[in-house]
Amino acid sequence: MTSSSGSEPRFIGIDLSGLVLRASIVNNSGQIEERRKVKIVADQLVTQVTQVVSELRGLNSNIEAVGIAIPGLVSRQTDRVVASRDFPLTVREDLHAEFMTATGARVEIENDANAAAYGEYKVGAGRGSRDMFYITIGVGIGGAIILDGKLWTGASGFAGEFGHITIDTEGIECDCGNMGCLETVASGPSIVRRANERLYRDGTSSLSRLAINKNFTADDVAHEANNGDDFSMMMIERTGKYIGTGVAIVLNLLNIERVVLGGGVMDAGELILNPIIQEARRRAFQPCFEATQIHAAKLGADAASIGVAMLARDAAA
């Protein structure tokens, strides 16, 4: 089962986003050799991480470090979580110290979007670029910046908050306290909200039968769009335009060489990628648009665990 035969170093990458613990043994080339997936029980977080690390270490004696990707703002200065919607309690704890003690390993913690960005940069859709902007669109919208091969996390570790670009100054209130953030219109739950609003107002769509029970998801919208439902296609296209407006802002501010888009909402494929690229072209300075490549992410749900394992590896260098 295991491939621990080589004496090459291995790294454990743990991704805590989406309330699921995904743990992997990652080799020096960024390939996953073992996986574990556990549903998170919030007040058992440290125990759950410790157990899975212990189990994976039992499989491979060359584990050199553990990387943990957390959905939340992680301060570079203190290695502490300063805000987390999914794990609000972690703000009061020194998770980094707890994990070090509990696992007995060298531990790096990082924001999940930063971790996924690093994964895509090293072994996914960012390969071959020097500078990259990463965007993840799912339940929330995150982002991360890589400049000259390194995560650029800003003065205190919070750079890359793409989801909180103001897209509509008079828009609806966002969890972050601002109004009209991109996240309020283009995240998975926002797509569902917008679709529901429209479905109850007008139109017929294959979503309607799901909407009657109010239980469809952004995945359903993407699925129906891919099946040719006009309304669902329109919803996905609009979402792409919102995201493309944000991408144009990033291109004008950073003149960045590559943009990589991942997260569940990007599973809609070209139906969303094309309007993103079109809107970015329409709104960005032409020379900034021409200097960039806009790609879909390649690593899917593995991006953050691979990335945070690579970050744990490179932190020692």
Which residues form the interface with a copy of itself (CB under 8 A)? Answer: 73, 75, 82-83, 131, 143, 145, 147, 152-162, 164-169, 176-179, 245, 248-250, 252-257, 282-288, 291-292
Nearer residue to a copy of itself within complex by CB, 198 or 283: 283
CB of 107 to a copy of itself, least distance (A): 22
Nearer residue to a copy of itself within complex by CB, 128 or 154: 154
Nearer residue to a copy of itself within complex by CB, 47 or 156: 156
Nearer residue to a copy of itself within complex by CB, 73 or 102: 73
C-beta separation of 140 from 264 below 8 A = no
Instruction: Using alpha carbons, select from 222, 250, 255 the residue that is nearest to residue 163.
Output: 250
**Residue 173 buriedness (CB in 10 A; 0-12 / 13-18 / 19+):** exposed
Tokens 């006009």 locate to: 230
CB of 315 to a copy of itself, least distance (A): 19
Residues 6 or more apart from 291 whose CB is under 8 A from it?
255, 257
CB of 72 to a copy of itself, least distance (A): 11
Nearer residue to a copy of itself within complex by CB, 25 or 251: 251
Token duo for residue 231: 């309304």
CB of 44 to a copy of itself, least distance (A): 27
CB of 245 to a copy of itself, least distance (A): 5
**Measured distance CA(130)–CA(148) in Å, rounded:** 5
Q: Which residues of 188-226 are buried (b: 16+ CB within 10 A; e: fewer)?
A: bebbbebbeebbeeeeebbbeebbeeeebebebbbbbbb
